[in-house]
Amino acid sequence: MSDEQNRTASKDYSFVIWVVAVLVFIFVGASQLVGSDGDSGEVGSVTENTAPVGKVRLDGDALPEQEAEVVTPVAAASEPEAEAPDPGKQVYSSLCFSCHGTGLPGIPQLGDKAAWADRIAQGKALLYERAITGYEGGSSGMPMPAKGGNVSLSDDEVKAAVDYMVSSVE
């Protein structure tokens, strides 16, 4: 390459660098103007965006000052009372359904009168006992674990679940 070509190439590159620098300057300036909302720029908006939504109150902490919602007796009387949840249905839905609601062979399913008939004929006391303490002699070959495998359930909760399943076929 000749000296003349080198100078021409150098001028071309210099021109391109100046154009890019001017464009960067224009875009940075424009973004500062558009992004500024009159406060301390990005620092303010970051602070607002990351501010906590609420606070956790630990025992012994003072309650924050807030306006209490006033419920008039007329408004309270006009709202329908919510039905109390059926504990048997809750236990069935959260635990028993995994075997008694999925169609596993040999396991009595919710609402299957034929599958429950012999078991109900033996009496609720035996159903309760097997549900609470477990049972290994079923026709499915799968044992009934004590309390359905959740030993934290109370006996009354297990009995309520049994009553719920039995009521589905009566």
What are 32-41's pLDDT values in tens digits?
777 655 555 5
Number of residues written out for the chain: 170
Pair of tokens at residue 66: 């807030």
What are 127-149's pLDDT values in tens digits?
999 999 988 877 667 888 999 99
**Of 141, 163, 8, residue with least CA distance to 96:** 163
The pLDDT-based confidence of 164 (bands split at 50, 70, 90) is very high
The pLDDT of residue 80: 61
Burial environment of residue 139 by CB neighbours within 10 A (0 to 12, 13 to 18, 19 or more): exposed
Task: Find the largest Cα–Cα distance for the chain.
Answer: 109
Phi, psi angles (nearest 5°) of residue 135: -155, 135
What are 84-101's pLDDT values in tens digits?
788 999 999 999 988 888
**Of 134, 131, 126, 136, residue with least CA distance to 156:** 131
